[in-house]
Amino acid sequence: MRRKRTLLLTSLATVAALGTAWFALPASASAATASLRTVSDWGTGWQDEVVVSNAGTSAMTSWKVEFDLPAGATVGSFWDARMAADGSHRTFTNSSWNGAVPVGGKVTFGFVGAGGQPVNCTLNGRPCGGGETTVPAPTVTSLAPAVTATPTRTAAPAPTAAPTTTAEPAKPAATTVAPKEKLLPVTVTNKTGRGDAVHLYVLGVNLDTGKLGYVDKAGTFTAWTGGAAVPVSAPDVSIPGPATGASTTIRVPRNISGRLYFSFGRKLDFRLTTNGVVQPAPWAGGDPNHDILFDWSEFTVNASGLWLNSSQVDMFAVPHIVSVTGGSGVTSATGEVRANGRQRVIDAVKASPAFAKSVVTRADGTVLRVLAPGKAADAGLMSATYLDSYIASAWAAYARKDLIVTPFTDRPDVRYVGRTNGDVMSFTDGGGRTVASFTKPSTANVWGCDGALGAPNDQVVGPIARTLCAALQRTTLGRLDVQPSGTAADFYQGDPANLYAKVIHRNMVDGKAYAFAFDDVLNQESLVHDGDPRTAAITFTPF
């Protein structure tokens, strides 16, 4: 949804942009300099940009930027440069087309990484700031909140194509169009048949101010206050939810992005830090929400309309339908699980020795959730190298043949050609210029669509990264040499494959789900959108 990329409660792109930090020492008037800034930081990764500036008296014909990475840090995708790795040392050199930098000119390149930020930067062997001593490690700040969860994507328009939606068969188009209100009514209906008390939470970011906060039932947004370096308990901002067979309507401001949480039986435990809110992360050891049955939907509502999705990126727990009715009176809905579909997913996952431990059951026998593979691996419940053999095979396939990536369905003329050389896959554009390169990802990078597959918010590297991650998740990379491509019948046919995503999609009425971060590639996502939303709804179905 994304999500990016990026859900605003876990790592907010707009907030992170406000906290962007540059580092560049005072430049000598007679030397070239390089400056690096963090474009965005989403907690588990970041995107950096380097600007090489020629402040000298003669034109440059080439450049070389080098730096060291702290222990555990990595660089994945990169663009507009060539990269060489030697242990923790990285060397970036110009491509054939951007080595010449005239006096007063600038050249920019970028990369996506994880862990600590680069240190000891040099340009052509001299400190990046133009001095004679080693550049100290920069301090990069960000306004993104401290979190324990991996970021998911916002309910924002997918760059690969406009999302498609499916009208819920059981609901005919509205005959009376609701008036447009300042606050968007969202009706939550409980059809579970369960007797548990339901608690609702609307958390997100105010897109006008960039502040993180919560929304009450009447639609008032309040920014969080009172956080500390050591997380402290957040105030109880729950909204009483509907009993089975009933509905509750809440109102949401029209310029907010975030999550609507719902828990059964017990209230959720949120914590505040100095930078934001720590969300429930039941896959993490010691999380106080581990034994609570809960789930969430993700949304963005702004001047361009409403995007609302049911997310299974982190876990599959409470089956629910998301829907929106627009000014035309038409209702679009998705996310409906087939009859007994939740149990079918649980049974299929339990039957697999590789995935079985990702089914989490409470002491009273209640199945709380099925963890997505990345979360299960993080918790030590499945192999951290599960996909490695497939990734190696798929990556190596393109040492012998071309991979064609056409990431925009509305722009078929945009075409990139990929080839691998060792562990690096590089893509060229129609003019033969190398525009993006990716180091071979790990299993964790594929599960999270991050690290080596980190997708910056641009129109070249990000769309290619999204395409690669979706193809690896669906095991079509190496088999289908034009990406994105294929249908549901082609997906998850490799070995090993993502059983979690496979069985969730199989048990959706319309086949749509958000089983991983970029499941919107080829419109496989459980997302509804309307440019003129009048009402929205979330319906819990029986389980």
Return the structure tokens found at 494: 């490799």
The SS3 assignment for 15 reads: helix
Nearest-angstrom CA–CA distance, 382 and 110:
34
Nearest-angstrom CA–CA distance, 227 and 539:
33
- The residues near 285 (Cβ < 8 Å, ≥ 6 apart) are 379
Cross-strand partners of 371: 315
What are 503-506's contacts with CB under 8 Å, separation 24+? 503/344, 503/345, 503/348, 503/349, 504/312, 504/316, 504/345
Nearest-angstrom CA–CA distance, 493 and 304:
37
Nearest-angstrom CA–CA distance, 117 and 217:
41
Q: Active-site residue among 295, 298, 450, 520? A: 298
Per DSSP, 95 falls in state -
The SS3 assignment for 461 reads: helix
Nearest-angstrom CA–CA distance, 444 and 223:
34
Q: Active-site residue among 41, 48, 168, 314? A: 314
ω into residue 496 within 30 of 0, thus cis?
yes
How many C-beta neighbours within 10 Å does residue 176 have?
6
Residues 324/157, Cβ–Cβ less than 8 Å: no
Is residue 314 annotated as part of the catalytic site, yes or no? Answer: yes
Nearest-angstrom CA–CA distance, 223 and 268:
19
Return the structure tokens found at 387: 């996909």
User: What residue type is 20 in one-letter code?
Assistant: T
Residues 304/293, Cβ–Cβ less than 8 Å: no
Nearest-angstrom CA–CA distance, 397 and 514:
28
Return the structure tokens found at 439: 């180091």
E-assigned strand segments in 341-388 = 359-361, 367-371
Active site residues: 298, 314
